[in-house]
Amino acid sequence: MDVNKSFFAQLCFFGKLINTRANPIEADAEVFNKVKIGLENCEIKYIKGDILKVIQETAPKSIDFISLSDVPSFMGGKLETSYLQLLKPYLTNAGKVVVRGNLRITRPQIDGFEEIGNLYRPLFLQESTQLWNIDIYKLK
- Give the pLDDT of the chain (140 residues) as one tens digit per residue: 677 878 778 888 999 888 888 787 788 899 999 999 999 988 887 888 888 888 888 888 999 999 988 777 778 789 889 999 999 999 999 999 999 887 777 789 999 999 999 998 888 777 666 677 889 999 99
Q: What is the pTM of this model?
A: 0.73
3-state secondary structure of 131: coil
Q: How far apart are CA 47 and CA 70, in angstroms?
A: 18
CATH of domain 45-140: 3.40.50.150
DSSP for residue 59: P
Q: Which of 19, 20, 88, 104 is CA-nearest to residue 52?
A: 88
Helix (H, G, I), strand (E, B) or coil at 115: strand
The residue extents of the domains of the chain are: 1-44, 45-140
Q: Please give the pLDDT value at position 134.
A: 87
Residue 133 has a pLDDT of 82
CB 51 within 8 A of CB 82: no
- The confidence score (pLDDT) of residue 1 equals 66
**Of the candidates 50, 7, 43, 44, the residue with the CA atom closest to the CA atom of residue 25:** 7
The residue among 49, 73, 47 whose CA lies nearest residue 135 is 73
Q: How far is CA 137 from each of CA 5, 55, 84, 109, 111, rounded to the nearest angstrom?
A: 29, 17, 9, 11, 11
d(CA 60, CA 139): 14
Alpha-carbon distance of 99 to 16, in angstroms, equals: 27
H-helix or E-strand containing 55?
Answer: helix 51-56
